[in-house]
Structure 1
Amino acid sequence: MSSINQRLNNNLLQLELLEIKSYLPNYLEQVTAGKMSFSEALLALTTKELNYKHQAQVERTITRARFPSVKTLEAFDFTFQPSIKKQEILELKSLAFMDKAENILLVGSPGVGKTHLAIALGREACQQGARVLFINCHELLLRLRKADDKDELDRALNRYARYDLLIIDELGYLPIKHDEANLFFQLINARYERKSTIITSNSALSSWVDIFQNPTVTAAILDRLVHHVHTIRITGKSYRLKTKL
């Protein structure tokens, strides 16, 4: 390798232009052979580098979102769940609801695909550079209680309020105590008309008063959640049972 090429490779390494470094020899050959101009080669190389860096950023964003599994809209079997309007879900894929700080409630029995759809929409948001967090409702409440016990509740609420999209999974699967209901309200209130929230629940909204065990707090939570909301009720069979059958 010539001294110039060695120095060029060293520069590319220091600048962390690894895709350009990888593809450079091939493009240099094409330029030397007159198959493309220097400007065309430079454009192709920088495009590869930008695409690589964008994808790497997306992967980091997805990792930080803490999705429990890989789920996509393309892999969702809409034919098994006729109660879901496919076009409605595909329109949500545009993420226009996030621009308007609207919420999504996915309500249905266990196994009908609520979490799948929530993760899939969350990954779409990550693809577009949004800050996303997926968290189980019980875990979220435990974290808020712990922060409250340490007099760090405001800091915790501010952290969760900053996510462009917060996905709270499995609300209603475990009972929520009175103080936890108040903490949940404070979080929803902090995000109200600022950021979007997706919630999955196995309980109809009319039953949430039994979950939160406080009519006043329940009304306040629902008032803020459903003011700007897309409610998707899924009444089909369980995908898990389908697999077993």
Structure 2
Amino acid sequence: MSELVTARIRATAARLTLPHLAANLGEFVSRADDTQMGYLDFLDMVLEEEQAIKEERRIRHALRVSGMPHHKTIEDFDFSYQPDLDVRKVRDLGTVAYAEARANAAFLGPPGVGKTHLAVALAVAACRTGYSVYFTTMDDMVRQLRSADAIGKLTSKLKVYTRPQVLVLVLDEVGYLPLAREEANLVFQVISKRYERGSILLTSNKAFSEWGQVFGDEVLATAILNRLLHHCEVIAINGPSYRLKNRMEAVEAEIAAAG
């Protein structure tokens, strides 16, 4: 291949935003020569690799902007430590059908049992499938919305939580004091605006019967739950704490090393 043609192909590839082709043209040609590849096979190889790299770049960007604290998957979850957990139900959610249906999923249980891991794992799967995802704690969301409301930018800030197709909402971090009515109303606005328009992956260490105390208003809590639970898969996890297990293993290792 002449240098003139090579330069022209690289320039065209760059204009068509095919950077992998532009950067690796020589390697592609060598691989085609080595295997005596046909024209269609050569074109298929180039386009397939370019698409794969673009898709991986998209996924990395989507995961980065999602704000998730980690990117653990369902495969990373130790189901043997939570034998009462319905594995099939979790794996069914992992197909991301919930996001397509704009339905919700709620993981309930005490701290440390893996609720956030599973919620994030479902969000990661959604991200890889092409859905937009955003992660937040209830405390941080309320704080952000309250600050925006104070300066007249509530409508704009609400879009941060209503625009993504999947919202991961961690209720575990809510303080011990109930939310003020104005704060609870901000949560209601988010839930209401997302109702049947986008999915919520919720984690909570509070039973739904306790939400009246959390939101400081039984009527408002009921209105929130009506919208949240209308299309929702509820999964209770009542097993032992992973964090306690990991800590005990670390202590045992330290004792063994000291001995």
Same fold per superposition (TM over 0.5): yes
Deviations 1:86-120 (A, max 9, x none): 11000001111122221111111110000100111
Decide whether aligned partners of structure 1 residues 34 and 193 sit closer, same or farther in structure 2, where only a CA change above 3 A counts.
Answer: closer
Q: Give 1:171 deviation, angstroms.
A: 4.0
Q: Which residue of 2 aligns with 1:213?
A: 216
Equivalent residues of 1:185, 1:217 under 8 A apart: yes
Secondary structure at the residue paired with 1:94?
A: coil
Q: Which residue of 2 aligns with 1:230?
A: 233
Q: Which residue of 2 aligns with 1:113?
A: 114
Q: Which residue of 2 aligns with 1:59?
A: 60
Q: Give 1:30 deviation, angstroms.
A: 4.4
Q: Mind listing any 5+ residue stretches in structure 2 that lack a counterpart?
A: 249-259
Decide whether aligned partners of structure 1 residues 33 and 172 sit closer, same or farther in structure 2, where only a CA change above 3 A counts.
Answer: closer
Task: State TM-score, norm by structure 2.
Answer: 0.89
Aligned residues: 245
Is structure 2 residue 148 aligned with structure 1 residue 147? yes
Deviations 1:11-58 (A, max 9, x none): 333433222234432332344467111221111001100111111111
- Identical aligned pairs, as a percentage? 33
Decide whether aligned partners of structure 1 residues 38 and 144 sit closer, same or farther in structure 2, where only a CA change above 3 A counts.
Answer: same
Q: Which residue of 2 aligns with 1:185?
A: 188
What letter matches 1:56 in structure 2? R
Task: State TM-score, norm by structure 1.
Answer: 0.94
Q: Which residue of 1 aligns with 2:129?
A: 128
What letter matches 2:169 in structure 1? I
What letter matches 2:135 in structure 1? F
Q: Which residue of 2 aligns with 1:100?
A: 101
Deviations 1:168-196 (A, max 9, x none): 11346313222111111111111111111
The Cα RMSD (Å) is 1.7
Q: Mind listing any 5+ residue stretches in structure 1 that lack a counterpart?
A: none
Give me the whole-angstrom Cα distance separating, in 1, the residues matched to 2:31 and 2:55. 26
Secondary structure at the residue paired with 2:111?
A: coil
Is structure 2 residue 207 aligned with structure 1 residue 198? no
Q: Give 1:227 deviation, angstroms.
A: 1.1
Deviations 1:58-85 (A, max 9, x none): 1111111011112111100000011211
What letter matches 1:150 in structure 2? I
Q: Give 1:141 deviation, angstroms.
A: 0.3
Segment of structure 1 superposing worse, 139-148 or 162-171: 162-171
Give me the whole-angstrom Cα distance separating, in 1, the residues matched to 2:216 and 2:31. 71
Write out aligned runs for 1:40-59 (5 A): 40-59=41-60
Give me the whole-angstrom Cα distance separating, in 2, the residues matched to 1:120 and 1:198. 10
Equivalent residues of 1:172, 1:203 under 8 A apart: no
Equivalent residues of 1:72, 1:123 under 8 A apart: yes
